[in-house]
Structure 1
Amino acid sequence: MKKTILAMAVPALLAAGSASASINLYDAEGVKVDASGAAEVQYIQDIGNNQDGKWRLDDGDFAINTEVAVSDKLTAIAAMAFEFEMAGGADGADTGEYRSNVENDELYVGFKGDWGQFTAGRQYLLMDDSGITKDYELSVNSFGVDIEQATQVGKYVYDNGTVYGAATYTDFSDGFDDDSAEAVADGYGAGDDLRIYEARLGYRFADVDARVYYQRVDNIGRNTDTAGNIISDELNQDAYNFEIEYAGIENVGIAASIGRTSVDGLNKANKVVDTETDYMSIAADYTMGKTTFAVGYDNKDIDGESSDLNGYYANVTYALHSNAHVYAEVGDSDGDDQDFGYVAGMEVKF
């Protein structure tokens, strides 16, 4: 069966039209295989001090999804996906590092049925889906620990159209894996026993969609002495975000969210840390024909800082096709020495 599927994949990709959201490669004998992908390139100047405009290969994705009917009520599923990006993101342009970077960002198996879906393997965490901002790049708010996906993830998802929920458990008992190298570089440490627990619960009624995300991170890192002996656990983190969206006005979308991240424990200097950061976002968009206009405002209030950080953005998107669009965005914040940012880009997907 595998040889037949692979033999059909290349000609199917070459012959498929661009109108579908994905391409069906094979559908017979209870086996279904679909492929999808996207490419996005931008020219961006980040919000910040003395930033320069640069080209960014923002997104390149290719995914294969498989379903195998085990019975009338149970389906086995599997997926693999790859990201293609410029090494170092937009910052690579500053150092002349125009190397390509290919990463396997999803590789999992599982089951689904009327009871929901359970998968295990390399997957994106729930907090990667959180946020109601309508920006492309220039929102100042983000939530949770800065680990988008990991290898040792178990995920359960349920959605009956009205009530939906999800939960994940991520285990770094063997220390950070290769997928978390960026998190290590960002200061999250490379200690053992890091675990992430997540939950999402949502409810849809009339034109309203409301949901809440929660994330608990135990042992973000470990302090060790020169001999490698553990001195203490470093930091633990709790984060939540409550979100609500309203679509009861024709061609208009309105959204708002509030959230908080709390960090406690000992830092690398073995000093007690107990800080909280509050987040708030509001956003709206209006669609007129093939053009969508969006604006947003973000607020970030960090413990111990004398003033909040406020961010603003506005963008316009034009749909060339259901699978292709171009966009432009400007954004700014009231942070110290922060120049405004802008981005223009194009995305094509299948």
Structure 2
Amino acid sequence: MKKLVIGVVLAAFLAVAGSAQAATVFKKDNFTYKIGGDWQIQFRKEIGDDEDFDVEYDDLEIKNYAAYKINDNLTAFGELDFGFKNAADKSDEDDGPHLEEAYLGIKFNDFKLMVGETTSAGDEFGVQGTKETVVADDCFDEYGAVDGDDLIKIETEFADMVTVVAAYELEADSEKSHDNGEFFDIFVALDIENFSAGVAFQNMEPYGSDEDYNIWGIQAGYDAGFASFGVDYSATDAEDVFGEDGDVGIFNVAVAVPVEAVTFGAGYVLETFDDDDVDDINGWYFNAIYKFPAAKNVRLFAEIGDTDEDDSEIGYLVGMRIKF
């Protein structure tokens, strides 16, 4: 997910899809083919009651990106990504390789149009300081949709300061379409020197439902040099669909402190419910990420976290990640 990543980047200006980490394996005339990967394996005990340690795969992805430069202003591109997490876990009935993203697009100067299976605008929202979710990420992830398979998506930039992403998921009720329902969302980000901010909105009608609901959120980040700070708040009026009596809100605050090759992070998460019969949930986490100076896309990491839910026990994880 392209979120506001604390300690890594504080503004999510979007490069041509999939190309930021990918390595060029073939280039001739006006054609470019790149391949990338994101492989992560961790030894983890989840937050919860009497959880066991196990080996988890998050993620095992191969990304394929191709582009034709038609002229100086116009580029046609596409991406085809596969995930192997289910195959490694063997924890799902469909435990073979699965499709992560598949889309085609046109880029004209700073404007991009994409159609296919990919992430939505709501996926851009949020402060991401954890390796694994503590309580909840944000309301777009928990109660909305952050991707679609009948998606029409646009991205554009203005004056190297403002990024706009908007997406519409067709209802597409057919045997060839997933049960994603129908939604529209938009994300707008502002980046000025060391400060960034963003707002997001989504209107969602779940598959098989006649009720729609809204999700909205606001976020901000600041890089002070010695540390990076981020905060977000998102809320939804999805009570008619999910049964809660009143709105749901999720608040995140995160800080990251780089010390040479290690980045130390900490954060607090709060999920609130207007329903008096449902208790609010508080969570916290601490982590550390080591990037090898000679190969910064090779990382070792560790994290601990917990919540105040009944019978909750502290969760731990250590792992390794390679990106290319």
Q: 1:236 aligns with which of 196, 206, 212?
A: 212
Deviation larger for 197-206 or 235-244: 235-244
Alignment match, 2:261: 290
Alignment match, 1:172: 171
Alignment match, 1:112: 107
Alignment match, 2:283: 311
Deviation larger for 258-267 or 294-303: 258-267
Give, in whole Å, the separation in 1 of the partners of 2:310 and 2:268: 18
Aligned partners of 2:38 and 2:323 also within 8 Å: yes
**Superposition pairs for residues 300-339 of structure 1, below 5 Å?**
300-304=271-275, 305-320=277-292, 321-339=295-313
Alignment match, 1:131: 126
Give, in whole Å, the separation in 1 of the partners of 2:310 and 2:88: 25
Going from structure 1 to structure 2, the CA distance change for 1:149 and 1:177 (only over 3 Å counts) comes to: farther
CA RMSD between the two structures: 2.4
Once the two structures are superposed, residues 160-200 of structure 1 have per-residue CA deviations (whole angstroms, 9 ceiling, x without a partner) of 420111100001321586655xx7xxxxxxxxxx2110100
**Superposition pairs for residues 12-161 of structure 1, below 5 Å?**
21-86=21-86, 92=91, 100-142=95-137, 143-144=139-140, 145=143, 147-160=145-158, 161=160
TM-score by length of 1: 0.79
Confirm whether residue 250 of structure 1 aligns to residue 225 of structure 2. yes
Would you say how many aligned residue pairs link Structure 1 and Structure 2? 298
Aligned partners of 1:318 and 1:327 also within 8 Å: yes
Query: What is the SS of the residue equivalent to 2:27?
Result: strand
Query: Higher relative CO (CA 8 A, sep ≥ 6), structure 1 or 2?
Result: 2
Residue identity matched to 1:141: A
| 5+ long unaligned stretches in structure 1 | 1-19, 184-193, 223-232
Residue identity matched to 1:125: S
Going from structure 1 to structure 2, the CA distance change for 1:280 and 1:273 (only over 3 Å counts) comes to: closer
Residue identity matched to 1:287: P
Going from structure 1 to structure 2, the CA distance change for 1:105 and 1:178 (only over 3 Å counts) comes to: farther
Give, in whole Å, the separation in 2 of the partners of 1:273 and 1:88: 36
Aligned partners of 1:33 and 1:66 also within 8 Å: yes
| 5+ long unaligned stretches in structure 2 | 1-19
Going from structure 1 to structure 2, the CA distance change for 1:206 and 1:334 (only over 3 Å counts) comes to: same
Residue identity matched to 1:300: E
Q: CA deviation at 1:236?
A: 2.1
Deviation larger for 142-151 or 23-32: 142-151
Going from structure 1 to structure 2, the CA distance change for 1:246 and 1:276 (only over 3 Å counts) comes to: same
Give, in whole Å, the separation in 2 of the partners of 1:139 and 1:25: 38
Query: What is the SS of the residue equivalent to 2:123?
Result: helix
Give, in whole Å, the separation in 2 of the partners of 1:167 and 1:274: 30
Alignment match, 1:207: 194
Q: CA deviation at 1:129?
A: 2.9
Once the two structures are superposed, residues 126-160 of structure 1 have per-residue CA deviations (whole angstroms, 9 ceiling, x without a partner) of 22232203110042123224544321000000124
Give, in whole Å, the separation in 1 of the partners of 2:201 and 2:226: 31
Alignment match, 2:7: none
Give, in whole Å, the separation in 2 of the partners of 1:278 and 1:344: 30
Give, in whole Å, the separation in 2 of the partners of 1:30 and 1:296: 45
Aligned partners of 2:101 and 2:118 also within 8 Å: yes
**Larger helix percent:** 1
